[in-house]
Chains A and B, each alone.
Chain A
Amino acid sequence: MTLTQFVAKNAFRNRRRSALTMLSIGFSLLLLTLMMTVYRSFYLSKGSPESSLRLITRNRVSLVFSLPIYYRDKIKAVPGVVEVVPANWFGGLYLDQKPEHFFAQFGTDPQDFFKVYNTWKIPPDQLAAWQHDQAGAVASAALAARQGWKIGDRIVIKRNIYPVDLELTLRGLYNTDEPADSLYFNMKYVEEAVPRAKGAAGIFDIRVDSAAAVPRVASAIDAMFKNAPRQTKTESEKAFQLGFVNSLGNVKAFILGISLAVVFAILLVSANTMAMSIRERVREVAVLKTLGFTRQTILKLFVGEAVTVALMGGILGSLAAGALVSVIAHSPSMGFFFAGIRVNVPTLLVAWLVSALVGLASAFFPSYRASRMGIVEGLRHIG
């Protein structure tokens, strides 16, 4: 036996209590890992390398207001811009309002769409089929698999914002590593059915020639329309998505608040358990000291026990969070905000560090007191 094995044996001497402590720490770390992952995804992640070359221009006032379609050519003329394509949010209903049937639908220009999204893969014949069918549509392969579509299927999107139902034919499937479970169709379909939609674009998707050009291009576009009737706001794809998140309120403060509350709660749970465990073993501490164990060694033994239990709970919780995040990311009802989200290694390491620190902090004070207790006093203790 080594001192480490002694610590491990003591950590699980009361299996039910250790298991419950591990579960409570595990559950808290699950929440914390979820919060950290969401925070990282929203505020720290820079998005995919491909998306870093893309900008989105929208109406400066609100997304509710559109931009004139003629802005497209002006934007394309800005040095550094490779391609521009308009996109209009259709917001219709597929089959019913069930979450699993929700997905984004955009009207766009089939001729240039894959020039902006040039890393998305679509077979040339399928692209050509879409470009030649005004009622054609393309969807991500993942979305098609989830909805059970195959090429040639008829897809009806019921009206919601626009007073028209879309009766589309699936002409192509694209593949991408980016979270893009959407359906794209020719915007002329809606424009011909709804005259007021003509000449307007909800947003412009832009591809620039280099990441270094992004800030300069964004500023140049917004400066160009500074005195226009409809001013623009150009931002990175990531910032654009973050705008949706921020529309829910102060999400950053919410996440940080929950994270702090979770850490504080597990600290209390763990401290209570450790205090109880140490109080029961006052006599044993005195025996160990009689055998020659020093205060420092006893302190290390107890703190080691707490860190072991907390760390195991933390590992359990953070791995469960990883599995849960994977489920959320692939969930049709949550995928819109959380598509592509995953628990990465640094997040896991931070979660494990937090759980180890919780174990350390919760055990230190009761362990220190136990280690300082006189041997005679400890031997008299009836525990």
Chain B
Amino acid sequence: MPTAAETTIVQARNLQKSFKRDSFEVKALDDVSIDIAEGEFLALMGPSGSGKTTLLNMIAAIDRPTGGELLVMGENIFRLSDQQSAKWRNEKIGYIFQSFNLIPVLTAFENVELPLLLTKLNKQERRDHVLTALKLVGLEDRVHHLPKQLSGGQEQRVAIARAIVTDPQILLADEPTGDLDSHSAAEVLEIMTRLNQDAKKTVVMVTHDPHAAAYAHLTRHLEKGMLLPA
């Protein structure tokens, strides 16, 4: 739990998520309460199906709970309309996927530029932002490469650049090193650490890998939808 001096950026109270599979009710999240402080680097660990990604998706407003409350940056994001939550995600959240999810027909530059197409920035401003983001992840020399011309580690770095290009306050990463070799994984984790320490981004990372979790300040474990005590 953050101290009083720290600002809470994510505040979840009694979050529940359940769905029906055949005749059984499955609880993906069971009464989860968690506070995440601004500037935190939190790792969420747990076995498959423990609810880690569900919690991450709720913080990103791409999934909705069946019960409980969630405030992100003071906003009850589940009260937002679809359009409002899309805009909110674009401005406030950077999301990094396990399998990179770059658009194959776009170059590294264009992939990073995608979220900026929804903003009011002009071409030059977009260009500046994109190049800054690509420089931050060390890919300024791969600007015109297509995803298929990049290694897995480079693809994930492009995905990180895409996640940070709008300068969001929170970075959410779902198994960001799951598809990478150890060297590339280390590079990606170093970048995320830098973004947390230097750019003061709040990072929430879902991982299976204790080595990856070691980069975080704090690790919380989920099991069968329940958050285990810290």
Contact = CB atoms under 8 A, between A and B. Distances in A.
Interface of A: 1-3, 6, 9-10, 13, 283-284, 287-297, 374-376, 379
A297 B60 contact: no
Contact of B162 (A283, A291, A374, A375): A291
Given A1-B117, A297-B118, A376-B57, A290 B63 contact: no
A9 B117 CA distance: 15
B7 to A, nearest CB: 24
Given A9-B105, A293-B86, 5 more contacts: A287-B101, A292-B118, A292-B166, A294-B86, A379-B62
A293 B90 CA distance: 8
Contacts of B63: 374-376
A375 B54 CA distance: 12
B104 A13 contact: yes
B30 interface: no
| B interface SS class | helix
B89 to A, nearest CB: 5
B41 interface: no
Nearest to B62: A375
Nearest to A372: B82
Given A375-B63, A376-B62, A376-B63, A292 B115 contact: yes
B87 to A, nearest CB: 6
Interface string B117-133: 11000000000000000
Contact of A289 (B62, B106, B110, B117): B62
Nearest to B60: A290
B40 interface: no
B105 A10 contact: yes
B83 A1 contact: no
B175 interface: no
B97 A291 contact: no
B113 A292 contact: no
A4 to B, nearest CB: 10
A292 B87 contact: yes
B73 interface: no
A13 to B, nearest CB: 4
A162 B103 CA distance: 76
Contacts of B87: 292, 294
Contacts of B109: 1
